Amino acid sequence: MLGSAIAKRRGALGLTQEHVAHEAGLSVRYYIDCEGGSRKVSLEVAARIAAALDWRLQELLDSADSLG
């Protein structure tokens, strides 16, 4: 559940969806779709989101794997 891991990390950091989208270089709509699970996320986009959340890509993937 990549979207759930992203949302959980973003919430823990107290960041808005708009902030993370901007930092990752994504449109807000695209980011919201990624977080909500309605869009398949490429490794490149996942890496950009992870960086915006001050995470390594592997940490994001491990967190997503643990959620399910």
Instruction: Give the total number of structural domains in the chain.
Output: 1
Spell out the per-residue pLDDT of the chain, length 68, in tens: 899 999 999 999 999 999 999 999 999 999 999 999 999 999 999 999 999 999 999 999 999 999 86
Contact assessment for residue 61 and residue 46, using Cβ atoms and an 8 Å cutoff: yes
Q: Give the pTM.
A: 0.93
pLDDT for the residue numbered 21: 98
pLDDT for the residue numbered 68: 67
Q: What is the CATH number of the domain that holds 32?
A: 1.10.260.40
Alpha-helix runs per DSSP H in 1-68: 2-13, 17-24, 28-36, 43-52, 57-67
pLDDT for the residue numbered 67: 84
pLDDT for the residue numbered 1: 87
**44: domain range?**
2-67
**68: amino acid identity, one letter:** G
